[in-house]
Structure formats: structure tokens, C-alpha cells
Structure 1
Amino acid sequence: MSRKTSLLISAALVALLLAGALTQAWVLPAAVERVVAVFPEVKPLAVPAIAWGILAIACWQAPAGIGVWLVLRARHHGFDKLSYDWLRVAVGCLLAFIALVVSAVAALSGLGYATPGVMFGLIAGGLVVLIAAGGLVLVLGDRPAVLRMPHH
């Protein structure tokens, strides 16, 4: 990968990290506040919604941060065993997001707040992450056998 390409990819991932932090700190709380102002009956869900949103965004931020590290590392060290270990961590973060989606669908359904828009959004987000995690698992399963052997 060329230096220019790695810098562009890193810059895009850092921009996503910053956008996520902005969303966690200001956009999400303001959006929840607006919804509660229009629909006061959902006020008991305000704090859980913000906490869920922050955790869900963090489940995307961690793989993005790992991606920055892997891109920068690949310029000097290539894609080695440590890189694959970090890809496993990224898969774990994505699976945590899927667990959050499943718990949100169950909780909202149980509380009677399962509106079609919210459910479609949750399910679509879960499917996107499931595809991304599946892609990473395929990459992990397709690596050369020499990298699978433990280093002594």
C-alpha cells in the first residue's frame, strides 16, 4: 500500500472516529431530548437510549481505531500475526454491537415501543455489522498457514 493511500485511509478512519465522538457527546443527547419533547411518554427511555447509543457507536469506533493502527503498522511491518489478533478484537467489537441490537429489539418489544422505524433501523444496522464481521472472519480464516503457527 502506498504512503498516500495509507494516509487517506487513516484520515478517513480518524474522521469517522471524531464524527462518532461528536455524535456521542452532542448529537445523540440532543436528538433524544427532541424526541422526548415531542413524545413525553418515552421519557423513561431517554437515559437508556443515550447509553445504548454511546455503546453502539463505541462498538464501531473501536474497529475504526484498530483500522487506523493496522493501516499505519502495515506500512512498516506488513500484515503479521499481531495484525490478525487485532482483527479478532475488531470482530469481538462488532459482535458486541450485534448483542446490543438483539437486546434493544427484545427490550423495546417487551416495553411496547417497537415502532417499525426503530425496528427497521436496528435490524438494518445489525445486518450490516453481521456482514462486516463475517467478512473479517473470512479474512481471518483465509490467512496463510505460517501465520497460524504460534511464535516461540
Structure 2
Amino acid sequence: MRRGIAFAVVGVLLVLLLSVGAQLWLLPAEIRSVAATFPEVERLAAPAIIWGVVAIACWQAVALIALRLAMPLRRGEFGPAWYGWLRGMLGCLLAFLALVVAAFIALNVMGYATPGVVLGLLGSGIIAAVGAGSLALFLASRPQAHFRHA
């Protein structure tokens, strides 16, 4: 069983490293390529890079918090003292939802809301909303989650 957890941790860390590479190299390169192919979207290049980096960072933070909580949960030590981490995860998911709403509105106002973009935004927004809703319900159902323990 410990071996499976080790593989899962290594897998998550590998995905995190790949996502950092996507943030620093792949995302800007792809956006520049699209802007070179379609000059009419050139004005969206800088906001798209910023949005993409921040959106990926939100999910990286969620993954790192999940890794941080994996061991206490595995050892059966998870309790109210760890709820702050869950609130941090909830904050990251809500920040991502805010990014999705802002992008959806901005793209619609600017006339760039193509079906592929809208479906991607809606899909990722639904995933984040389900996660945030689940965490919020969990934290709200625990009265001890509202109090700080010394």
C-alpha cells in the first residue's frame, strides 16, 4: 500500500513539473504561434498568457495542498487542525472560478467567444465549481471548522 502512495506522489509531482514547463514555455509559445497565424487576436496575447499562468497556478496550489494533506489523512491524523489547508484549497478553486467568469465575460464582450473556447471555459468552471462546492459543504458541516484551536 505504501508503494502505491509513493507512486501517486511521484505522479503528482511529475504532473506539477510538467505544468510548470507548460506555464513557462509551452503556453507563451502556443499563444505567440496563434497570434502570428491570426493577427486579429494579437491584442489578446498578453492577457491570455497572464490568464493561463494564473489559472495553472491555481490548480498547482490545489495539487500541492492535496499532497500536503495526503499523509495526515493516510495516518488517520486528519482533523480540525488541518481545515485551514482545506480553506486554502477552497480559495484557490474560487480564484480559478473568478478567472473563468472574467475570461468568459471578456471574450464575449470582445467578440472572441468561439465554441471551443466557451466549452473549455464552461467545462473547467464546472469542475472547479463542483470541487469548491464539495469543500464548502464539508467545511460548513463541521462546526469545529469555524473555530481556531490553540
TM score, norm. by length of structure 1: 0.87
Moved more, 79-88 or 46-55: 79-88
Structure 2, unaligned runs of 5 or more:
none
Deviation at 1:124, TM superposition (A): 0.9
Q: Which residue identity lines up with residue 40 of structure 2 in the other structure? A: E
What secondary structure, in the 3-state scheme, does the structure 2 residue paired with 1:64 have? helix
Q: Secondary structure at the match of 1:113?
A: coil
Partner of 1:64: 63
Q: Which range is displaced more, 111-120 or 9-18? A: 9-18
Quick check: 1:151 aligned with 2:149?
yes
Task: Describe the SS at the equivalent of 2:65.
Answer: helix
The alignment-based identity, stated in percent, is 45
How many equivalent residue pairs? Answer: 150
1:102-117 alignment, distance < 5 Å: 102-117=101-116
Distance in 1, matches of 2:4 and 2:137, equals: 24
- Contact 2:94-2:132 within 8 A present in 1 as well: yes
In structure 2, the CA distance between the partners of 1:72 and 1:107, relative to structure 1 (3 Å rule), is same
Distance 1:102 1:149, change over 3 A: closer
Written as runs of structure 1 = structure 2, the 5 A alignment for 1:57-136 is 57-75=56-74, 78-136=77-135
Q: Which amino acid aligns with 2:16?
A: L
Q: Which structure carries more relative contact order (alpha carbon 8 Å, separation 6+)? A: 1
8 A Cα contact 1:3 1:75, kept in partner: no
Q: Which amino acid aligns with 2:102?
A: S
Residue 110 and residue 69 in structure 1: after superposition, are their counterparts in 2 closer, same or farther (change >3 A)? same
- The answer to whether the 8 Å contact 1:63/1:93 transfers is yes
Match of 2:30 in 1: 31
Following TM superposition, the consecutive aligned residue runs of length 4 or more in structure 1 with deviations greater than 6 angstroms are none
Distance in 2, Cα, partners of 1:103 & 1:57 = 15
Is the 8 Å Cα contact of residues 80 and 144 (structure 2) preserved in structure 1? no
Cα distance in 1 for partners of 2:66, 2:50 equals: 24
